[in-house]
């Protein structure tokens, strides 16, 4: 049987490679109460970038209406530059906002508020492009070619910005608290890819991962690993935490695999 390859484990706090002995020592020294991470900088940064995005949209609108001329190539070139800068600010701002939401999530008690708070980036993206698109399509005084191309660029930017700003893995404060209560101060592990964290670095779903990061549950969620691995949840008999699958389904899957293996052993022709 092939020797099991040892995984490289990186600390989420320091970014340095650590050994199992270091992880064990770190767990012993960990304080009972974790210091909450501030999200003020992230949210302020997102708002500043979104304000800048709106400013670029206003400049684009004024260029389209012929109110100003920046003398940087043709009017179309100037419009495209403003729209691209608008898109860059929208996307970076949305990433900062989503990062802050994963550190300090909103409550799911009010579904509408929860959705709005987690998708503020999509709302801002719409505000930063839709007015320009409408004006470009309805303005009869602007050059037809210029406004048509600019409108197409704005539509593409709206779609790209909307997809990039949407939070595909939102987490609620209830989910975060449930995970913290269930796991306590235990460190968790996550791979460079995927959206789940693990309580065991030797989890079967990590067999293909040569490098892992370890840290607190809060750090895992902030890194966009918003759910506990179903295999780890079953292994630890954890049932009150949102996972990437139903532990019962995992058990059924394992039973199915075992049945198939037994059938292969019983039937040599299989």
Long-range pairs, 40-43, Cβ under 8 A, ≥24: 42/96, 42/97, 42/99, 42/100, 42/103, 43/96, 43/97, 43/100
Pairing of the two strands 8-11 and 17-18? antiparallel
Task: Please say whether the beta carbons of 248 and 234 come within 8 A.
Answer: no
Paired strand residues for 150: none
User: What is the C-alpha to C-alpha distance for residues 181 and 177, in angstroms, rounded to an integer?
Assistant: 6
pLDDT of 110-146, one tens digit each? 889 999 999 999 999 999 999 999 999 999 888 899 9
List the domain boundaries for the chain. 40-165, 173-265
Residue 16 — pLDDT band, cuts 50, 70, 90?
Answer: low
96 half-sphere exposure, CB direction, 13 A CA radius? 19
Task: Please say whether the beta carbons of 61 and 78 come within 8 A.
Answer: no
Q: What are phi and psi of 171, to 5 degrees?
A: -130, 145
Q: Among residues of the chain, what percentage have pLDDT more than 90?
A: 39
- Look at the pTM and tell me if it is higher than 0.75: no
């Amino acid at each position: 049987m092939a020797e099991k390859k040892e995984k490289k484990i990186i600390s989420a706090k320091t970014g340095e490679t650590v050994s199992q002995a270091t992880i064990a020592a770190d767990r012993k020294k960990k304080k009972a109460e974790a210091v909450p991470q501030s999200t003020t900088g992230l949210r302020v940064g997102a708002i500043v970038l979104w304000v800048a995005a709106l400013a670029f949209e206003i400049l684009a609108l004024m260029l389209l209406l012929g109110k100003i001329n920046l003398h940087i190539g043709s009017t179309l070139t100037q419009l495209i530059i403003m729209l691209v800068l608008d898109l860059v600010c929208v996307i970076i701002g949305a990433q900062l906002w989503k990062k802050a939401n994963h550190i300090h999530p909103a409550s799911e008690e009010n579904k509408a508020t929860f959705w709005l708070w987690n998708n503020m980036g999509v709302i801002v993206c719409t505000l930063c492009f839709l007015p320009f698109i409408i004006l470009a399509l309805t303005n009869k005084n602007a050059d037809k070619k210029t406004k048509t191309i600019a409108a197409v660029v704005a539509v593409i930017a709206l779609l790209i910005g909307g997809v990039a700003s949407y939070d595909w893995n939102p987490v609620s404060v209830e989910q975060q608290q449930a995970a913290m209560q269930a796991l306590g101060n235990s460190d968790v592990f996550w791979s460079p890819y995927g959206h789940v964290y693990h309580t065991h670095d030797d989890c079967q779903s990590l067999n293909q991962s040569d490098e892992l990061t370890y840290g607190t549950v809060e750090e895992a969620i902030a890194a966009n690993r918003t759910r506990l691995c179903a295999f780890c949840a079953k292994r630890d008999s954890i049932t009150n935490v949102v996972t990437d699958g139903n532990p019962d389904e995992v058990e059924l899957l394992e039973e199915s695999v075992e049945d198939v293996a037994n059938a292969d052993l019983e039937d040599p022709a299989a």
